[in-house]
């Protein structure tokens, strides 16, 4: 059984009203436990709608969405799904609700009715894991965007979440904040085997994933390893998407007759290929 199983998922907003809008159409995919998947797609392609299905914030109009064998359509399973799947959204200012960092991280465990002693341990461990122990008594508004997102991630860790979904969670951050958040989630993925789903417009982030899914107008139109997906730069452009800068540059250099390997995906690959051909 895959960790995430999305079958024939269709989502219609405002069904039966004049504003009825079909945001997801017959979407099918699976994500294995411990996999790192990036979801790409132009604005309005249905990425956020899809993300909200993955922890039961939205329910299927048709089809189904199962997380670790739990079905979002079964009301009593939704709480366990929300515990297992942590969501981090775009705007860091909308995520933290308590007046002090550690209270914010404790919010989830408290709602689960965790014993106070156990809760304290969970909160301390979660703050440590995201490198925010020193800020535990800070008011969230004093933190940088990257720090706020890390606290949001700690909130999920404190509930022993085993899957993180980041819906453009780095979009509003400065480069340093982006790096902090990506380094953290990659570490959680690598060291704890957490299942990681990131929705992003940053192609260098997507290039690090095990697999890339591409959405277009509510449909899932591509699924493959980053090298395959980015190899077809014209198709990506047609879908309203960029490719990583290194891929774009390699594509132009090949077009100009330079003999470069066809699996260049990031700066390091490109540098290595150029050094092989031109220095040695």
Ligand X SMILES: Nc1ncnc2c1ncn2[C@@H]1O[C@H](COP(=O)(O)OP(=O)(O)O)[C@@H](O)[C@H]1O
User: Could you say whether residue 17 binds ligand X (CB under 6 A)?
Assistant: no
3-class DSSP state for residue 169?
coil
Order of strands, sheet of 62-67, starting from the edge strand that comes earlier in the sequence: 21-31, 4-13, 62-67, 70-71
Residue 46-75 contact track with ligand X, rule CB under 6 A, x = bound? xxxx--------------------------
The alpha-carbon radius of gyration of the chain (Å, integer) is 20
User: Could you say whether residue 265 binds ligand X (CB under 6 A)?
Assistant: no
Closest CB to ligand X among 13 and 29? 13
Find the binding residues for Mg ion in span 33-72 (CB under 5 A): 47-48
Which of ligand X, Mg ion, none does 13 bind, CB closer than 5 to 8 A by kind?
ligand X
Closest distance between ligand X and the C-beta of residue 41, in Å?
5
Closest distance between ligand X and the C-beta of residue 278, in Å?
41
DSSP-derived pairing of the beta strands 211-216 and 36-41: parallel
Which of Mg ion, ligand X, none does 259 bind, CB closer than 5 to 8 A by kind?
none
The phi-psi region of residue 137 (left if phi > 0; otherwise alpha if psi is between -120 and 50; otherwise beta) is alpha
Closest distance between Mg ion and the C-beta of residue 10, in Å?
18
CA distance 147 to 88: 13
CA dihedral 170, 174, 179, 185 (to 10 degrees): -30
User: Could you say whether residue 91 binds ligand X (CB under 6 A)?
Assistant: no
Which of ligand X, Mg ion, none does 43 bind, CB closer than 5 to 8 A by kind?
ligand X
Which of ligand X, Mg ion, none does 45 bind, CB closer than 5 to 8 A by kind?
ligand X
Which of ligand X, Mg ion, none does 224 bind, CB closer than 5 to 8 A by kind?
none
Find the binding residues for Mg ion in span 181-240 (CB under 5 A): none
User: Could you say whether residue 41 binds ligand X (CB under 6 A)?
Assistant: yes
Q: 148: closest CA among 97, 201, 202, 196?
A: 97
Beta-strand (E) ranges in the chain? 4-13, 21-31, 36-41, 62-67, 70-71, 85-88, 163-167, 195-199, 211-216, 219-224
Q: Which member of 9, 23, 153, 239 binds ligand X (CB under 6 A)?
A: 23
Print the SS3 string covering 102-118.
HHHHHHHHHHCCCCHHH
Closest distance between ligand X and the C-beta of residue 280, in Å?
44
Which of Mg ion, ligand X, none does 211 bind, CB closer than 5 to 8 A by kind?
none
Closest CB to ligand X among 90 and 160? 90
> Sign of torsion, CA 123 125 130 131?
positive
Closest distance between Mg ion and the C-beta of residue 49, in Å?
8
Instruction: List residues near ligand X by CB under 6 A.
Output: 13-14, 21, 23, 41, 43-49
Instruction: List residues near Mg ion by CB under 5 A.
Output: 47-48
């Amino acid at each position: 059984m895959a960790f995430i199983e999305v079958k024939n998922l269709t989502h219609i907003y405002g069904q039966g009203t004049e504003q009825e809008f079909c945001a997801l159409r017959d979407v099918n995919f699976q994500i294995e436990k411990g996999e790192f998947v990036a979801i790409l797609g132009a604005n309005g392609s249905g990425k956020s709608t899809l993300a909200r299905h993955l922890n039961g914030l939205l329910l299927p109009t048709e089809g189904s969405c199962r997380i670790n064998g739990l079905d979002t359509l079964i009301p009593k399973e939704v709480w366990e799904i929300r515990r297992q799947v942590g969501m981090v959204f775009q705007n860091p200012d909308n995520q933290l609700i308590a007046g002090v960092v550690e209270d914010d991280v404790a919010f989830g465990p408290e709602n689960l009715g965790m014993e106070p002693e156990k809760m304290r341990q969970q909160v301390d461990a979660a703050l440590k894991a995201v490198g925010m122990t020193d800020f535990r008594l800070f008011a969230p508004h004093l933190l940088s965007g990257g720090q706020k997102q890390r606290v949001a991630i700690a909130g999920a860790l404190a509930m022993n979440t085993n899957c993180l979904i980041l819906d453009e969670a780095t979009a509003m951050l400065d480069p340093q904040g982006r790096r902090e958040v990506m380094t953290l989630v990659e570490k959680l993925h690598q060291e704890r085997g957490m299942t990681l789903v990131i929705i992003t417009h940053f192609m260098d982030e997507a290039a690090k994933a095990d697999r890339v899914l591409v959405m277009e107008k509510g449909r899932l139109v591509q699924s493959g390893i980053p090298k395959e997906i980015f190899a077809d730069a014209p198709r990506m452009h047609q879908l309203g998407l960029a490719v990583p800068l290194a891929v774009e540059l390699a594509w132009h250099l090949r077009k100009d007759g330079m003999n470069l390997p066809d699996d260049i995906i990031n700066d390091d690959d490109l540098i290595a290929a150029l050094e092989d051909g031109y220095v040695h």
